[in-house]
Structure 1
C-alpha cells in the first residue's frame, strides 16, 4: 500500500494506540486475536475524532 503522506504514519500509529487504550482494546504488534468489532471500534473512533477536529477548524 502506498501512503499519500508517508510522514503521517508515525503520528497515526500513535493516535491509534491512544484511542485503543482509551477504548480498552489491547492493540500490540500482532492483532490477529482481536475481533472485527474491536478493530472497527478503534478505526471508527479515529475517523470520528478527525472529522470533529476538522469541523472545529473550519
Structure 2
C-alpha cells in the first residue's frame, strides 16, 4: 500500500540539499542547460530532465566507490 505522501519530495538530510543543488547545476551546465535553476522544468522532456538526474546518480556512485 502506498503511503499518503507518495510522490512528494522529502529532504532526509537537510545539510545535503545545498550540495545536491550545486551538483545538479554543474551537471546541467555540462549537458548544455546554461541556466538550469531558472528553466521551467515542465517545458523540458523527460529525457532531458532524466539525463541530469542520471548523471548525478552516476557521479554519486563513482564518488562512493572511490571512497571504499
TM-score tier, shorter chain, comes to 0.7 to 0.9
Local SS of the residue matching 1:28:
coil
Contact 1:19–1:42 at 8 Å: present in 2 too?
yes
Q: Root-mean-square deviation (CA), in Å?
A: 1.3
> Corresponding residue for 2:4?
none
- Under a length normalisation based on structure 2, what TM-score does the superposition of the two structures give? 0.76
The structure showing larger relative contact order (alpha-carbon pairs under 8 Å, at least 6 residues apart) is 1
Give, in whole Å, the separation in 1 of the partners of 2:42 and 2:14: 24
Number of equivalenced pairs? 58
5+ unaligned residues in a row in structure 2: which ranges? 1-8
Give, in whole Å, the separation in 2 of the partners of 1:12 and 1:6: 10
Moved over 6 A (4+): none
Q: Which has the higher helix share?
A: 1
Report the structure number with the largest CA radius of gyration.
2
